[in-house]
Amino acid sequence: MNTLVMYPSHQFSEEDKKMYYILTDDFPYGSKLFPAGSICYLNEQTFLHHISMGSTRFWRFVMVEDGSVVTMDVESLQPLNEKMADFLLAVSNVHERLNCFLDCQLLDAAMKARVGQQVFAELNHQTFPGVIRYIGKLHKSPWPSGLCPVYFGVELQGDGDGKGHCDGTYNGTKCFKCKPGGGIFLPFNKLQFLPMPEDTKLKEVEKLDGIQEMPVKVGEAVGFYLDDAFTRGIAMDVYKEGSTWMVKVCLEDEAIMDGFRIIPMDSVVKEELLLPAFEIEADSGPQDRLKCKRSESETEKETKPPSLDVNSMVQIDLEKGNSVTGTIRWVGCLPNTREKVAGVELDEEKGVSDGELQGIRYFSCPPKRGLFVKLESCQPDMRFQTNSHTPWESLELSGPDTPAVFSNLPPLRDEMAVKVLSGRMRGIQGHCNSCYMDAALFSLFSCTSVLDSMLYKPSFPPELQVQKILRDKIVNPLRQNGFVAARSVMDLRHHLTEKGQCSSFATSEKDPEEFLNLIMHRILGIEPLLKLQSGRLKEQECYYYQIFMDKQEDLVVPNVQQLVEHSFLSSDLKLVEIPSCFIIQMPRFGKEYKMFSKIIPSLELDITDLLQDSPRECFVCGDAATRECSACFKDKMFADTGLKQYCDPCCRQAHSHYQRKAHRITELHIPEEFHRAFCQGNRRVPREKLELFAVLCIETSHYVAFVKYGPEKENWMFFDSMADRHGDENGYNIPTVTLCPEVAKYLEMPVAALAMEQPRDMEGVAKRLFCDAYMYMYQSKRMALYK
């Protein structure tokens, strides 16, 4: 039996370089359990010895937090550098710590964070804006490892002002300066990091000791006294000279010296912003005249209609007041014409061609969708233009297009997801049958990073353009602003149309699996998510799994676990490896026929018994399994869930019954390392479980999504890209994200009671989750590290 050994701290010299690791699975050792997320280390010499000797996978590690020495399987550990370990140690809850490590983007953002950076801080289950004023350690290392947690000192702002715990002082040490109750110290998992401004001078200004907000910034109108006369000008530069901050001012009266003065900041008074409030006299100097010209050009730019080109979305007024909408596919001059002509692919079958005119093909589109008109007859599609009377502030901020966001942002979780995503005009705006793509993208990227490899995989033109649109115009804006305008998705659809050789991707309704297969396989070429083995047949690779099974009379209201096990068993399938993302399509055919009226979402999918050549547990006694019997899976004498595998004694006893003597028993392969560890006393079979993160649903040809944004059963949000509409044909769709905690009530309900529940009586949107499920998405954050 394993025993816990305590070694004196001097056994591992502090001068030795240490190799740090984090435990990714719970690990029982003797009478103690080391939970996943625990951090351990060994010195570099020991590490090199193991490598050079080619020793077994079981090495001895020192646990950071209690100094105990434990023999562990290196397969259950992930390496850390010292900086990562310091940041992770500040997260006291080991399970949250592991999630922070697996969500590598958040940890990476924390390690790159700078003093002066804007953040959102989580405090008492609320989120407040703030500014980082300190990054570092708050005390000496209490452990022999030399590691010490790194915390962030944040000055709270806005609604959080006065809700902090200190004035920047910790245990008598002044870490930064702010007013009492304005500061707080937090680990990085309680922060959402916002991108730093690009202006390096502003970065330096934000680091100024004792000044939390600069009184004057470049470009602002200022005033000061010069020879007892009040003089006005524009701040052209702000910089530090020794210990004094100076402002370089462009003077209003150019007759004074060379038109510039260097003034101490303490002597400068800020007036109003330079443009547009700083009024200009008509007969002022050349500098003022230059500003007048700039103002005129800006006015002209504002009144000038936007230029139209290929891929512009337009509307065209026809006779009798009718109008049509579409996308410009070609611009040029036709034979015998001097005026520019636009070839437009219409959203509806109101055209006269398929992109061909007088025997010459100018572009390709479905029949009766093509139309050739004068370019001047085209107007920007008003559904995608900013309307000053639009009641939705988010739409006004987005304008006709979602601004690209080039900072790589982590997914939204917990309170931050609620703050950024929930509400009207949130999520991804739908347009022209795009719901299949809107729901899939929102599910895959809003609250998880499991497929972020799609965004950063090295690509080459023209695939690179698709990746840039997906990353910079859809995913990053969604994670930063909570809203993506329809034009960004339409841009992606046009590029998919070109690369997928399918002219209807930008206009017609598709299925999510068709979109996922196209973008993952044919365009971005990412590694298949699933590797499956059926008997002795060749290994198969795919991106999602379609459940096929005969009607099971005993499954009235099945859960996803049962459906997957039945499907794998009936097809004699095994998973060759643990998938990082497991996308499962439910047993339904078309949009009408559903095999089951309700399906219960399994929040965890246990795939231990679905893995090929993986350690198994005897379902009778819990010992290591050596045999598997598929016939016992359907035997009424046993439990109605779970595949059936046995150790040798239990297998003989179970099959001694005359009704089971004809069962075909399969021998299981036990990995040698596991067999050795099992014989040494570690009698525990590790369970491999995937976590549910999203569900796509369909009802009457319209796709919506449910997304799990936190660990609690109530942490569900519902997304509909076309939940509401503003206006008629010339209006636009209003995407909406709503919280739906009522889902938890039905997840906890007994199966018999849920079966009797009438869909029309179910609260909120829960009916759609349980009755309209089309595709379930599961993830393994641990395996995502390798993909």
User: What whole-number distance in Å separates Cα of residue 143 and Cα of residue 137?
Assistant: 14
Catalytic residue among 175, 378, 702, 740: 702
- The beta strand positions in 479-524, using DSSP E, are 483-484
C-alpha distances in angstroms, 143 versus 84, 284, 456?
Answer: 16, 70, 38
Is 702 an active-site residue? yes
Q: How many CA atoms lie within 13 A of 328 on its CB side?
A: 25
Spatial CA neighbour of 38 closest among 28, 53, 26, 56 = 26
Q: What is the DSSP-derived secondary structure letter of residue 653?
A: H
Q: Does residue 197 have a cis bond before it (omega within 30 degrees)? A: no
- 461-473 residues labelled b (16+ CB within 10 A) or e (exposed): eebeebbebbbbb
DSSP state of 611: B
Q: How far apart are CA 205 and CA 220, in angstroms?
A: 15
Q: Which residues pair with 373 in a beta bridge?
A: 342
**504 close to 366: Cβ distance less than 8 angstroms:** yes
In angstroms, the Cα distances linking 736 to 409, 417, 424, 522, 766 are 22, 14, 4, 31, 16
CA–CA distance from 577 to each of 532, 574, 607, 688 (Å)? 8, 9, 10, 11
Ordered DSSP codes for 405-433: --S--PPP-HHHHHHHH-EET-EE---SS
Contact present, 627 and 665 (Cβ < 8 Å): yes
Whether 566 sits among the annotated catalytic residues: the reply is no
Q: Do residues 272 and 221 make contact, with C-beta atoms less than 8 angstroms apart?
A: yes
Cα separation, 326 vs 328, in Å, equals 7
Q: Report the alpha-carbon distance of residue 90 to residue 143 in Å, rounded.
A: 13
The two structure tokens encoding residue 182: 């304005």
Q: Indicate the burial class of 754 (C-beta count within 10 angstroms; 0-12, 13-18, 19 or more).
A: middle
Query: How far is 354 from 332, CA to CA, in rounded Å?
Result: 17
CA dist., res. 282 & res. 274, Å (int) = 17
Find, among 565, 735, 732, the residue nearest to 642 by Cα: 565
Residue 754 has φ and ψ, to the nearest 5°, of -65, -35
CA–CA distance, 371 with 699 (Å, rounded to integer): 33
Neighbours of 302 (CB within 10 A): 7
From residue 502, how far is each of 26, 368, 369, 514, 522 by CA, in Å?
Answer: 48, 16, 14, 11, 12
Spell out the residues 6+ positions from residue 409 whose beta carbon is closer than 8 angstroms to its own. 105, 109, 195, 476, 479, 480
* Cα–Cα distance for residue pair 162/166, rounded to 1 Å: 9
Which of 581, 486, 484, 569 has the alpha carbon at shortest distance from 786? 581
From the candidates 435, 447, 632, 651, give the one annotated as an active-site residue: 435
Other CB atoms within a 10 A radius of the CB of residue 286 amount to 9
Element (H, E) at 329: strand 323-332
CA–chain centroid gap for 442, Å, is: 9
Structure tokens at 715: 């942490």
- What number of residues does the chain have? 787
Q: Give catalytic residue positions.
A: 435, 702
